[in-house]
Structure 1
């Protein structure tokens, strides 16, 4: 019996040594491996850059970039709305002229033969181009993307604002220089021709009423059909171009602030990266 017990003891010991590890040993191994995992690099607000600033600087940058994006969207919507109104006014004037214009074979026409259409057309075409560029930026800014595109947003918006600014200055200067007849330019425009009848009739009625001159017309001096509205629309279209010009100036200012913010943030990230390398 002693011999059998002595022979069985090694097998028992060997069985004890091959016993699977306990749950405590597994937890210790897992904790050790979890601690020794290499942490991932810091996330940056710009996924195109491998550098990052401090957490406070990145958070401030994100809030400022969000505010600038909302400002750009608001200005874009206002520019599109103002441009659509300008196109509607000048387009209706052009449509009315095309509908009532008669050829040179008629002796009594509503419009002068040599009337200048360029002041109205320059507003129509310039506003249409501004609308197209603004819609392009709006579509681009609303497209989803997994990457940060703040730099592209600023560049695209700055280009759109510069195009609108140049077109607004050109349209306003061209319109004001050719609207009224002068010694160098003796042709009437759509605005000067329609307003000549509308303002002249109103002035005649006012003068006749002030001087107590009897006018045997129930509604006063007759104005050609639609000329009063066309005169008002031509004046409003010029005012809308001025509004577009102001909005484009604001857009250029917002784009400049956005570009300056990106440059400062890139410098902060670069300085921190080089500072960490020196340390």
Structure 2
């Protein structure tokens, strides 16, 4: 009886060891997934800052802009607000896309929907990257124009003037630059997110295939 029990325990330990050896390795995919989520959170925060600074800049302009018949207008007649609007839209897109990606990655009911999770993981960096490229290109195009002024161009030109009331040109200049530079930062950031998504998919697929092959080999029968 004791010998039979010893054989059973030995066989069980052998089976358990075999199963442990054939478990898929999850360390690498989890690290890549954590990196992707961290970068997505960073993009979300950057998007919030872009929207906040750009919206405040545009709001200040709207509240201090005077009609053309005033003798001392604070802003030029041909000032173009489209770069600021583009940054607001860009930031809003990044916030919404990043939030959706985080939700599908962390909410169990959404994470279980594999197609939705994969689609969100791939589309978020692509959409955010396109939005950032358009906003940055548009902003630099207007800022470098010799005929039109943007809020950033005009406020930075007069940022040395100490204003005691709105518009505080120095503050507006800093806010405009912050939004623009964060939009520039978003581009390589989203490329990294997209790269992490690709690596995550490839690694997970490779581990799944390896595990399936090992499973087909079968497990030793317990004796």
Counterpart for residue 221 of structure 2: none
Could you give the per-residue CA deviations for residues 217-271 of structure 1, whole angstroms, max 9, x where no partner exists?
xxxx655850111111111211111221222111011011012123323433554
1:237 aligned to which of 160, 176, 179: 179
Could you give the per-residue CA deviations for residues 171-223 of structure 1, whole angstroms, max 9, x where no partner exists?
111111111323xxx1111111111112xx4xxxxxxxxxxxxxxxxxxx655
Q: Deviation at 1:157?
A: 1.4
Structure 2 residue 121 is the aligned partner of structure 1 residue 160: no
1:191 aligned to which of 140, 152, 164: 152
- Structure 1 segments of 4+ aligned residues over 6 angstroms from their partners: 273-276
Superposed counterparts of 1:163-182, under 5 Å: 163-182=127-146
Contact 1:155 / 1:255 at 8 angstroms: preserved in 2?
A: no
TM-score (norm 2): 0.78
TM-score (norm 1): 0.63
Q: Deviation at 1:84?
A: 1.0
Superposed counterparts of 1:122-137, under 5 Å: 122-137=86-101
Superposed counterparts of 1:1-279, under 5 Å: 55-56=20-21, 58-60=23-25, 62-145=26-109, 152-182=116-146, 186-198=147-159, 201=160, 225-269=167-211, 271-272=213-214
Larger relative contact order (CA 8 Å, sep ≥ 6): 2
Q: Deviation at 1:154?
A: 4.0
Could you give the per-residue CA deviations for residues 19-60 of structure 1, whole angstroms, max 9, x where no partner exists?
xxxxxxxxxxxxxxxx9xxxxxxxxxxxxxxxxxx7545431
Contact 1:194 / 1:231 at 8 angstroms: preserved in 2?
A: yes
Contact 2:143 / 2:153 at 8 angstroms: preserved in 1?
A: yes
Q: Which has the higher helix share?
A: 2
Alignment: residue pair count: 200
CA RMSD of superposed structures (Å)? 2.8
- Alpha-carbon distance in structure 1 between the residues aligned to 2:162 and 2:110: 65
- Alpha-carbon distance in structure 1 between the residues aligned to 2:65 and 2:110: 55
Unaligned residue ranges in structure 1 (runs of 5+) = 1-34, 36-53, 202-220
